[in-house]
Structure 1
């Protein structure tokens, strides 16, 4: 039995036994019983108050202590017992509501795997997941939760990713495809190669973010804490005025009782954690109440292109060489060898394409990368540069733009130069997400006043994309520093949300009023700096995050304002003698139930 439930049971028992004693005429015994049942609740409450005061926090628990203490002092033992029951019941109700609100987060934390079946020397051994290292081969049995990130080996894996992404249907992954830790094996057993240690896995990172979400107090809650002090003063002032004006101490007691506890301290935390939990159920991880609050105020949205408006998985459409002496596959092999040292999505796409073609890659050396522009280094004894046309043109003879004849505007191109001479270009296609236009239009319908596309790609690429989606502005040729400056400029004008895939967007995500990272892969810089992480590769979840935040804020405001008004009305009725202490306690408990149930609507 939990301590809060024990207090409720004790208060109910005291109220019942004391009531029986009063009925049989043992009035003195009944007062003793009611006082005894109130005392444990009051003692626990006083301990909580002292603890809060040591942290520098003054809350409305003081009102509850004053009302119970005053009732005992004035000889109103029955009223004290009723107030104790209502307070303990309110705390139990709050505990239940928070448990309901955290159900998605709690379920996620409760599924953290502890061990894994590692295959070594032809035998299986059960080991703690902390001992797994990249390259280990592990067996994932039917129903197992994947303990680390990895890739499928030699078969097809069917996994349920609902806890991470909100997608209800199992997903099939072919051999070589990546798997997220935290997914559940929904098919036959399969083997998986570990790609990240447990501490750096997607699931471990998500768990850390969830724990942070549960512990951080939102700015609006901190404001509510300050308002609680003023409400305390108003309560005491009304109670004192009622006593002074009427000369009846019961009126003052009734005022205190009606204000115990207050929806200000119940509704906000429940509503906020409900909204965070609701978002988690859709694959949207909101790190804390502050991020949720910031989302609800967004008026400007800045979106990256690659990996955000597009899927970020470019495919090689064509390879053009400077002359017939160059083989297309050889050019791809050299560029992919160099790109092994880059984390850019296009670089990763070229490496994946080369491996799919069976090309043998060699490790590069002396690598230097200009983020968002290009990369240079030594490959098989040659100096190789690859990247944007402007980047390569500055490091070679020859003009990459001459090889672009006939290409559609907006086509992504990687130029390459070997030993200072242009050798060719690789043409890639990264299609616009099918729902991009609808999502952008949804932002506008949701009250977003300005939508800006900010990309490191060439301006002509950005312009071509802007013709297909409704944007306020489309800006290309941005370095990470320039993108950061753009975000700061927009933030100075209005609350701004930055949506990016995180390869080069981490500084901009951190500078925004709230950053939204598309995807969580281990300890990626974007997921660390963003306030919101979308775990599923769907742009519409960014719009969903705005909608959930706005609805949560509306519900929280309704609960607080409505609850406070009802409390004030009850206090005035009590001050004029129209609401006795016991009735006031029941009235306040009804208010608490209403505001908490309303706050829980954020779950739906």
Structure 2
């Protein structure tokens, strides 16, 4: 009941009502304070400031008492306790405006901080929904659909095309291509055959396979992924407010100065004034107002920042780790090379033949070749006698041409001679991290078409600008080593760790943190979620990234523009600097107000107004962040 009342009073609507009560009391109070005629609202049964004291003061008192009861050690003494003491002291001498003012400023600070720290928590639920619920178990040659939790180690399972693999296992029969992007982030399905491993949550794209279950239930790869996100989420401690960290010395110092003021002056009003001006309201506002302005600035530039803590941490980052697929690259395949090995056939003619043969293919490489041919307006012909060998290639007749399109092993098995010239071209393309489709007619290899992920044009300049800011970069990817090295070299990243599963990405980040690096992780896929959570701060590619990655990250780049990363670093640096300047100025204003109070030049009411002016000054400094340009 008390908790519900507290939540109601500290909410935005009631805080507005509290502000209205305080404003209602301000003008007549000022007229009376500065020698004008009294304009007290005599028709009201109570001073309007009582409304502010009750609405904003009860949540403040609740917070102070809760911290005294539940917080350990010195943290029992908080800024809320100091302001409650000042509030009660002002009430005791009948200065309700001063009491209401300090409580109201704290209520505003709490609302601003809540607005900057509320974060979506939907990512983990979406990850859990990816877990397969059923599997097809084979018993004595008969298939039976059973719940995933009933699958046991050693069970034989049949996975049909398009189905999600329910457990980790080893293929014992069949060949296929598996979409492992959920685990490794690889942009291409991986061809699998007997004896090779498959993982829970990955998708069987083509052939039917039988697997022997090796890791089931909580031991499966997907469940480990879910647990890693949960563990990393639990590690994210909320940012402790600066005012509360300072409260351990603010409270005793304020009380000591107030007591000494009363002893030496004999004036209780002076002692209460000291308590009012000593309240750290400007200190409390310094962080959330600067962060609100910076978040507004970032939003204008298509960068969504979910918490103030993320901004503060980004300012301390000295190492940025990138995923490759969908982050440094677009995450889509495109034809990068066409090489004809037959002088009588041009590259365009070879593309026409290969694309015509692949028109009925469901393989991503075949589809990419067809789309590329269409985009180049290359004429396509009708194909006949189409036959697809899963995980290897296709056979098709295009006009008078009998064509084979596939990998080296497929062509060799069908009697095609792969000479040194072809081998040399394939090796060069492999070093560049490209996927190759060989095209053969009859017994002769007539050419090769290479496909590659497409590098974002701004990636190289982005890495260069980060380097100029003394921020190191590293590539963490599930892709093979050659592909990773090729793309890293293209953008200027010297440190590369490839062929990583999600837990290995997490381990890499933890190793960097153990070396005292502050790490920012930037990724886009489901498999990046644990690494995003483990990093000190994280950013996800917003427009094409998975919802889980976006929810796991503290920052989202809605335009997928990597040039926003250096902008974000500069903005966060400026935000941290603004917070430090605001805190310094607020402390100076408080110090000056204390001196004036001891000289009896301020009363609780005028002290509250000076105190309020300091808070407004801090807000204005923070507001300058909103329109500042960060080139």
TM-score (norm 2): 0.59
The 2-side partners of 1:422 and 1:247 are apart by 107
SS in structure 2 at match of 1:505: helix
1:294 aligns with 2:324: no
CA RMSD for the aligned pairs?
Answer: 4.8
Residue 45 of structure 1 corresponds to 56
Deviation at 1:258, TM superposition (A): 0.9
Deviations 1:446-499 (A, max 9, x none): 231x22233444544444444444434234444555444323322322111122
Residue 473 of structure 2 corresponds to 451
Higher mean C-alpha deviation, range 575-584 or range 292-301: 575-584
Residue 83 of structure 1 corresponds to 98
Residue 150 of structure 2 corresponds to none
1:6 aligns with 2:20: yes
Residue 390 of structure 2 corresponds to 383
CA contact (8 A) 1:322 1:403 kept: no
Residue 178 of structure 2 corresponds to none
Residue 514 of structure 2 corresponds to 492
Deviation at 1:543, TM superposition (A): 1.7
The 2-side partners of 1:70 and 1:422 are apart by 96
Q: CA distance change for structure 1 residues 588 and 9 in 2, over 3 Å: closer, same or farther?
A: closer
Q: CA distance change for structure 1 residues 568 and 543 in 2, over 3 Å: closer, same or farther?
A: same
CA contact (8 A) 1:315 1:430 kept: yes
Residue 328 of structure 1 corresponds to 354
Q: CA distance change for structure 1 residues 233 and 380 in 2, over 3 Å: closer, same or farther?
A: farther
Q: Which has the larger radius of gyration?
A: 2
The 2-side partners of 1:359 and 1:511 are apart by 49
Deviation at 1:92, TM superposition (A): 9.2
SS in structure 2 at match of 1:337: coil
The 2-side partners of 1:516 and 1:283 are apart by 13
Residue 367 of structure 1 corresponds to none
- What does 1:198-213 correspond to in 2, within 5 Å? none
The 2-side partners of 1:488 and 1:220 are apart by 20
Q: CA distance change for structure 1 residues 319 and 502 in 2, over 3 Å: closer, same or farther?
A: same
The 2-side partners of 1:478 and 1:241 are apart by 65
The 1-side partners of 2:366 and 2:67 are apart by 52
Deviation at 1:579, TM superposition (A): 4.3
SS in structure 2 at match of 1:471: coil
Residue 172 of structure 1 corresponds to none
Deviation at 1:287, TM superposition (A): 2.1
Residue 154 of structure 1 corresponds to none
Q: CA distance change for structure 1 residues 67 and 486 in 2, over 3 Å: closer, same or farther?
A: closer
Deviation at 1:537, TM superposition (A): 2.6
Deviations 1:368-393 (A, max 9, x none): xxxxxxxxxxx96733258xxxx978
Residue 301 of structure 2 corresponds to 282
The 1-side partners of 2:293 and 2:21 are apart by 26
Residue 442 of structure 1 corresponds to 465
1:515 aligns with 2:538: yes
Deviation at 1:61, TM superposition (A): 4.9
Which runs of 5 or more structure 1 residues have no equivalent in the other structure?
106-216, 340-345, 361-378
Deviations 1:548-574 (A, max 9, x none): 222112212221232123313422443
Q: CA distance change for structure 1 residues 535 and 248 in 2, over 3 Å: closer, same or farther?
A: same
The 2-side partners of 1:467 and 1:438 are apart by 13
Counterpart of 1:233 (choices 252, 256, 262) is: 252
SS in structure 1 at match of 2:363: helix
Q: CA distance change for structure 1 residues 243 and 430 in 2, over 3 Å: closer, same or farther?
A: same
Deviations 1:416-455 (A, max 9, x none): 899xx9999641244543332321121123231x222334
The 1-side partners of 2:575 and 2:284 are apart by 16
Residue 211 of structure 1 corresponds to none
Q: CA distance change for structure 1 residues 353 and 233 in 2, over 3 Å: closer, same or farther?
A: farther
CA contact (8 A) 1:286 1:292 kept: yes
The 2-side partners of 1:97 and 1:444 are apart by 34
Deviations 1:325-370 (A, max 9, x none): 9951266446x6133xxxxxx898568548868999xxxxxxxxxx
Residue 594 of structure 2 corresponds to 571
Residue 588 of structure 1 corresponds to 611
1:250 aligns with 2:269: yes
- What does 1:73-112 correspond to in 2, within 5 Å? 73-74=92-93, 77=94, 80-84=95-99, 86-87=101-102, 90=105
CA contact (8 A) 2:242 2:283 kept: no
Q: CA distance change for structure 1 residues 595 and 17 in 2, over 3 Å: closer, same or farther?
A: closer
SS in structure 2 at match of 1:314: strand
Deviation at 1:536, TM superposition (A): 0.6
1:307 aligns with 2:326: yes
Deviation at 1:11, TM superposition (A): 0.9
CA contact (8 A) 1:17 1:30 kept: no
SS in structure 1 at match of 2:593: helix
The 2-side partners of 1:296 and 1:553 are apart by 7
The 1-side partners of 2:407 and 2:530 are apart by 25
CA contact (8 A) 1:453 1:471 kept: yes
SS in structure 1 at match of 2:362: helix
CA contact (8 A) 1:14 1:37 kept: no
Size of the aligned set, in residue pairs, is 453
CA contact (8 A) 2:25 2:47 kept: no
- What does 1:137-216 correspond to in 2, within 5 Å? none
Q: CA distance change for structure 1 residues 594 and 17 in 2, over 3 Å: closer, same or farther?
A: closer
CA contact (8 A) 2:305 2:556 kept: yes
- What does 1:461-472 correspond to in 2, within 5 Å? 461-472=483-494
CA contact (8 A) 1:19 1:30 kept: no
